Structure 1
Amino acid sequence: MKKWTIIALIALVILILALRGIPYMINVYLNQNADTIVSNMITRTSGFENHHVSFGKIRLDYNYAGTYLDIEDIKIKPTEELRLEQASFDLHLSHAKITGFKWKNFLFNNTIAIDSANLKNLLIKSITPPIDSIYLENISEKKERKDYDLIAANHIILENFNLENKDLQSDSTRLTIEKLSVNAENFHFTKEDISNPNSLFGAGAIHGEIDEVSLHFDEFRQKVAIQELLFDTRNQGLSIGNFSVINKLDKFPYTQAFKLRKPWLQLKEGKMDIVGMNFESFLKKGIIEIDSLKISHIHLEVFNNKKIPEDMERRPAMVHEIFQTIQVPMAIRNTILNNGYLRVEEQPEKSTPKTAHLFFSNLNAQISELSNLENGLESNELSLKANALLMGKGKIDLALSYALDDSLGNFHLRGTLGQMALSEVNTMIEPEAKVSLKSGVIKRLDFNIYANDDDGHGEVIVRYDDLEIELLNEDYQKDNNILRKIGSFLASKVIIKSQNPKKNGALRKGPVYARRVKHKSMFNYWWQLIFSGLKSTVTGEELEELKAKELQKS
């Protein structure tokens, strides 16, 4: 009995020594070959093919619960074997701490599974092909590569991530990310995420912040800049402290760079708050689902150079078509715009000493659900309500409703303009028409219009007093030329009604009729409809006359 007790004790000691010795021997092996092991784990993937990995200091500590890695000064650089058309990465990570690495999953399941990862000061400079060509790789080529089936972590902390991405063909900067910090739980990244262009990764919870993101587009002539971005899946919130769309060229150089007319746009000083965002749907499917989108203090400028020929083949989408043409699937249930500013500027076809412009300040709007998802809309009608100050003076109220399921694009446009001096709009009238509104006050303007993709009709009622116009000379200036004086008098007293209602109280209601010019925008169409009613009010034209003139144009 005593003999068997001694044997059992010896066996137990041997077992304990073995259990303690195996991790020791493994640690000796791992640390002697750490550079090669970790380097191969990285460069075996398709993204880092033909890249070299180096480390400043690396330590691995194995136990039965998993392996701990402490790595400093990680660098990944392209090698001479890099193909001309291949994406290249220049990466530097100052410090990485990884716990709970499971060798069983790595060796037998082609999976990297860890408990936690803490990554500090990651800088990536990449040069990649055009975005739309990245996923057009040959299937057989993909099979030869050894991407992991799954990369999973219970917890990830990334501090101070910076990215600069350039276009392989032009060497121009496409995307920059500055100072991204993120905290993710239950992170998982699969091989399917790599092959699916709509999928990024999955996470149980993720929150973080970014100082700035810049995306360059339009052959690098313009860029979108987003600053102070905060996101948190726990409360389904996302906010942007400042967003802008910057045109790197001035108005005339940009518009003159194209053979056919293209507007110059610039947007700045915008602030955005999103409530109720479905992050899971966005991260795994690329679908944007939002309960409420609020945009504040946006400043938008639009410039058109009418000296540039129009693109007669252009067919801008109407409201009911817009969300069907957007390739990103989306549903925004409520959109609110607060205190915006819009400036519309044009260079007339003829040379003028100055451009024509109008602006709308204190712009507020509310839009019902916007969606291009199948069965995504609770209602088949889009509703927009907006108000603003025209030239900072005249109060505008606008209501628009579109039947989104109507192939004819039927819509209803109605609104009012409050009292303002007509001379306020001379900044647009004088350069465009070589006419000045010498005097006159709009008391109130009402419009009620029904239209579709082809034409529209309705009614404009404009109450005004003391309308008088003045013809301008060749230099777009006022002068004492007797013929122009006579022309101004005849136009003001004979052709145009100087007031509405008349002195006897009779109120003239201007009929509306206009046909859509197919190559122009829907905003131009709205204006042409309203303008037809304004014109018929002051000239006395009837509906049939308006229709006859439109028919002659077509």
Structure 2
Amino acid sequence: MKPIWKWIIGILLLLIIGVVCVGWYYSRNWKPLVEEKLKETVAKSTNGLYSLKYDDLDLNITLGNATLKNAELIPDSAVYQRMVQAKEAPNSRFHIKLSSLKVRRFNIWDIIKNRKLYIKRIEFDSPDIHMMSERHAYNDTIQPKETKTLYDNIKDVFSSINVKDIEIENVKFKFSKIEEGKSSDIVLDSVGIKVHDILVDEASIKDTTRLFYTKMVEVEVPKFSYDLSNGIYRAKFDRLVLNTQDQNVLLTKAEYAPKMSKAAYFKARNENITMAVMKFDTLRFEKLDFKELIDNQQTIAQNVQIKNGSVSLYNDKRYPKKSVSKVGKSPHQQLMKAKQLIRIDTVFVDNVDVLYGEMSGKFHKEGVITFTNAKGTLTNVTNDSTHLIKDKMMRANLSANIMGSGLLSAQFGFDMLSKDGYHTYKGTLGRMQAPAFNKILTPLLNVGIKSGNIRKVSFNMQGNDHRNWGDFRFDYDHLKVDLLNSMGEDMSRTRKGILSFVVNNILINDSNPDANEKYHIGKVNYRRVPEHTFFKTLWQSLLEGIKQCAGISKEREAKLMGAAETGKEVVDETKGVIKKTGNFFKGLFKKKDKGEEEEKKDEK
């Protein structure tokens, strides 16, 4: 080997030994300084609310690595209570534990020379995060004092801090919501968190492409299930993914439903309170403002997508129902009463099935009405009064197949600023066979539709807290009603046939236009029953239009319903007519007796 290479190798070895020695020296002598500075920075940057403790700090200056073992970030409850009394406490605080925190590839020379800290990667091992949320009214009403930024708190030590990637796997996360001294908890296991490109410097706080100094935070939560406080309902989902850079949140297999069967639900509540079951394969928020959501619990998004799901509502009239006024509780009025601000430009609904089922209190049978493959949009979904000054209307444009047959299209308009809940609704129903509605009519009213062609239905209605009014058009032909036996009622086939004949030929029009070519238009002016919900009031107003088009007056309706329940009243009322009619035909065709024949011969 030539002498020159011996010198080069020797110099390199001396440099390596020198670097190792310097690294060892700084690691040993800087460790206490770093520990002191680290704890001081945490306490100072949080105004004494948090303290940091750990078992050991493994610092390798040469490689640019550091490891905290058994680290814990602890909130001071006494400090927090003092902040509450001073009206300076935040709504949320955290208690964090982890087995180790590994900092990889930082440049000590850049810290010494430029006071800049660059870290390539940080890894958290088995983190346990407890978030406690306690809402304080002053955070909503009092203008917050000008507080120091994170940069203000670290600028005496570093001119900038840049962390390229943070990865946190298998996080155990507990969220405790504290209200009136009581705590309700949500626990998540195996959460994954990725954070990309954290930059803390003089300008980064004003960078609109960053959320809390980061370019991107991605969180993935696997299977989750939570029993709601009433102990009856459970909320769950299969997967949640949020990405702050894309501003998206995705929920798959989301479900809200009772933990028991329908029978057990109503038995447990011992009251006719609507049971709701909601399931959606996909629930997605797009362009969601995470900063407003985190800081102020405000839901502001460009779009929400609800795809491939179902909404089922059930009632059981065998149980008593509280007589409570529903006035002022329409959907848009409830939205305006929500405590948190909501502003969503458009909600897209795609392939959602809606079912309403009701158990009859008289006949103990369940009737159902279905709206399948519902799709459409809701726009301007907000309770933001400042936004509503520009456009006060929330709108819905939806379509669905009713009873799996006719296409129903409807448009709703909700005046969000109306004091009496003003709204409009109009729509059309295409061709379908009327007997499709027997699934709800027969179990609930003991009436069946034998035949009938619905050619078209159209309506244009308005409503408020007290009444609904508007025009209703119903084009149909060959409508025949079949009255069924009530429970325990023994009615002969002949009597039942007579009863149905009377109903079909006297009480209702079998077509519109009717036999006299008169077209009937429903002029609806329906006064709301205060105890009826918004949707029941809507249905009752449309039903009023149907009855007017079918020529069913209040008197006729009373007879029809009476016939459906027992069949006696109408039969009794028609006995005389039928008897007289029968005698008339009998008189025309009966054989004359011999005396009458002989008298006629004598007269001749």
TM-score in terms of structure 1 length? 0.73
Q: Are 1:60 and 2:50 matched, yes or no?
A: no
2:256 pairs with one of 245, 254, 265: 245
Counterparts of 1:332 and 1:476 in 2: how far apart (Å)? Answer: 54
RMSD over aligned Cα atoms: 4.4
Structure 2 CA distance for partners of 1:20 and 1:462, relative to 1, 3 Å: closer
Counterparts of 1:219 and 1:46 in 2: how far apart (Å)? Answer: 38
Amino acid at match of 1:96: L
Amino acid at match of 2:462: Y
Q: Are 1:70 and 2:82 matched, yes or no?
A: no
Q: Which residue of 2 aligns with 1:514?
A: 526
User: C-alpha offsets along residues 88-113 of structure 1, whole Å, 9 cap, x if unaligned?
Assistant: 999764542136999xxxxxxxxxx9
Q: Are 1:26 and 2:29 matched, yes or no?
A: yes
Alignment of 1:183-332 (within 5 A): 183-186=195-198, 202-208=212-218, 209-315=220-326, 317-332=329-344
Q: Which residue of 1 aligns with 2:600?
A: none
Is the contact made by 1:175 and 1:216 (CA closer than 8 Å) also made in structure 2?
no
Is the contact made by 2:456 and 2:474 (CA closer than 8 Å) also made in structure 1?
yes
Structure 2 CA distance for partners of 1:439 and 1:323, relative to 1, 3 Å: same
TM-superposed deviation, 1:488:
2.1
Structure 2 CA distance for partners of 1:292 and 1:165, relative to 1, 3 Å: closer
- Partner secondary structure for residue 222 of structure 2: strand
Is the contact made by 2:363 and 2:487 (CA closer than 8 Å) also made in structure 1?
no
Where does the alignment leave 5 or more consecutive residues of structure 2 unmatched? 1-18, 75-91, 108-116, 139-149, 155-160, 201-210, 559-604
Q: Look at both structures and tell me which one has the larger radius of gyration over its CA atoms.
A: 2
TM-superposed deviation, 1:216:
3.0
Alignment of 1:395-406 (within 5 A): 395-406=407-418
Is the contact made by 1:27 and 1:62 (CA closer than 8 Å) also made in structure 2?
no
Counterparts of 1:364 and 1:28 in 2: how far apart (Å)? Answer: 63
Counterparts of 1:330 and 1:499 in 2: how far apart (Å)? Answer: 48
User: C-alpha offsets along residues 348-382 of structure 1, whole Å, 9 cap, x if unaligned?
Assistant: 22251x31111111101211111112312341112
Structure 2 CA distance for partners of 1:22 and 1:270, relative to 1, 3 Å: same
Is the contact made by 2:382 and 2:394 (CA closer than 8 Å) also made in structure 1?
no
TM-superposed deviation, 1:432:
1.1
Amino acid at match of 1:456: N
Which is richer in helix? 2
Counterparts of 2:483 and 2:377 in 1: how far apart (Å)? Answer: 41
Is the contact made by 1:510 and 1:533 (CA closer than 8 Å) also made in structure 2?
yes
Structure 2 CA distance for partners of 1:380 and 1:125, relative to 1, 3 Å: closer
Structure 2 CA distance for partners of 1:430 and 1:71, relative to 1, 3 Å: same
Q: Which residue of 2 aligns with 1:119?
A: 123
Q: Which residue of 2 aligns with 1:139?
A: none
TM-superposed deviation, 1:511:
2.0
Alignment of 1:463-478 (within 5 A): 463-475=475-487
TM-superposed deviation, 1:399:
0.9
Is the contact made by 1:293 and 1:332 (CA closer than 8 Å) also made in structure 2?
yes
1:376 pairs with one of 379, 387, 397: 387
User: C-alpha offsets along residues 298-331 of structure 1, whole Å, 9 cap, x if unaligned?
Assistant: 2111111222222223536224312211122110
Structure 2 CA distance for partners of 1:437 and 1:476, relative to 1, 3 Å: farther
TM-superposed deviation, 1:531:
0.8
Q: Which residue of 2 aligns with 1:143?
A: none
User: C-alpha offsets along residues 101-149 of structure 1, whole Å, 9 cap, x if unaligned?
Assistant: 99xxxxxxxxxx9957633453548698xx668999xxxxxxxxxxx99
Structure 2 CA distance for partners of 1:476 and 1:532, relative to 1, 3 Å: farther
Amino acid at match of 1:527: W
- Partner secondary structure for residue 520 of structure 1: coil
Percent identity of paired positions between Structure 1 and Structure 2:
18
Counterparts of 1:286 and 1:187 in 2: how far apart (Å)? Answer: 25
Q: Are 1:435 and 2:434 matched, yes or no?
A: no
Q: Which residue of 1 aligns with 2:143?
A: none
235-244 vs 114-123, which moves further: 114-123
381-390 vs 171-180, which moves further: 171-180
Q: Which residue of 1 aligns with 2:378?
A: 367
376-385 vs 315-324, which moves further: 315-324
Counterparts of 1:417 and 1:182 in 2: how far apart (Å)? Answer: 50
- Partner secondary structure for residue 498 of structure 1: coil
- Partner secondary structure for residue 368 of structure 1: strand
Alignment of 1:377-416 (within 5 A): 377=388, 378-416=390-428
Amino acid at match of 1:118: I
Q: Are 1:98 and 2:110 matched, yes or no?
A: no
Q: Which residue of 1 aligns with 2:436?
A: 424
Is the contact made by 1:365 and 1:385 (CA closer than 8 Å) also made in structure 2?
yes
Counterparts of 1:278 and 1:127 in 2: how far apart (Å)? Answer: 21
TM-superposed deviation, 1:482:
3.8
Structure 2 CA distance for partners of 1:355 and 1:21, relative to 1, 3 Å: closer
Is the contact made by 1:158 and 1:181 (CA closer than 8 Å) also made in structure 2?
yes
Q: Which residue of 2 aligns with 1:6?
A: none
TM-superposed deviation, 1:421:
1.4
TM-superposed deviation, 1:504:
4.4
Amino acid at match of 1:419: R
Counterparts of 2:314 and 2:322 in 1: how far apart (Å)? Answer: 16
Is the contact made by 1:320 and 1:405 (CA closer than 8 Å) also made in structure 2?
no
- Partner secondary structure for residue 536 of structure 1: helix
Is the contact made by 2:355 and 2:368 (CA closer than 8 Å) also made in structure 1?
yes
Counterparts of 2:122 and 2:494 in 1: how far apart (Å)? Answer: 83
User: C-alpha offsets along residues 370-401 of structure 1, whole Å, 9 cap, x if unaligned?
Assistant: 11123123411121111000011011010111
Structure 2 CA distance for partners of 1:483 and 1:19, relative to 1, 3 Å: same
Q: Are 1:355 and 2:355 matched, yes or no?
A: no
Is the contact made by 1:245 and 1:267 (CA closer than 8 Å) also made in structure 2?
yes
Structure 2 CA distance for partners of 1:449 and 1:150, relative to 1, 3 Å: farther
Q: Which residue of 2 aligns with 1:10?
A: none
User: C-alpha offsets along residues 463-516 of structure 1, whole Å, 9 cap, x if unaligned?
Assistant: 111212222223499974443333222222111111111244321112212122
Amino acid at match of 2:255: S
Amino acid at match of 1:97: K
TM-superposed deviation, 1:21:
8.8
Counterparts of 1:94 and 1:48 in 2: how far apart (Å)? Answer: 19
Structure 2 CA distance for partners of 1:453 and 1:177, relative to 1, 3 Å: farther
Amino acid at match of 2:345: R
Counterparts of 1:227 and 1:313 in 2: how far apart (Å)? Answer: 37
TM-superposed deviation, 1:462:
0.8
Is the contact made by 2:309 and 2:351 (CA closer than 8 Å) also made in structure 1?
yes
Counterparts of 2:338 and 2:500 in 1: how far apart (Å)? Answer: 49
Q: Which residue of 2 aligns with 1:141?
A: none
Is the contact made by 2:452 and 2:479 (CA closer than 8 Å) also made in structure 1?
yes
Where does the alignment leave 5 or more consecutive residues of structure 1 unmatched? 1-15, 78-86, 103-112, 137-147, 189-200, 547-554
Amino acid at match of 2:426: R
Counterparts of 1:428 and 1:399 in 2: how far apart (Å)? Answer: 24
- Partner secondary structure for residue 277 of structure 1: coil
Counterparts of 2:439 and 2:362 in 1: how far apart (Å)? Answer: 16
Q: Which residue of 1 aligns with 2:349?
A: 337
TM-superposed deviation, 1:433:
0.7
Q: Are 1:454 and 2:451 matched, yes or no?
A: no
Q: Which residue of 1 aligns with 2:598?
A: none
Counterparts of 1:440 and 1:477 in 2: how far apart (Å)? Answer: 27
Amino acid at match of 1:236: Q
Q: Which residue of 2 aligns with 1:80?
A: none
Is the contact made by 1:30 and 1:60 (CA closer than 8 Å) also made in structure 2?
no
Counterparts of 1:27 and 1:336 in 2: how far apart (Å)? Answer: 58
Counterparts of 2:177 and 2:426 in 1: how far apart (Å)? Answer: 47
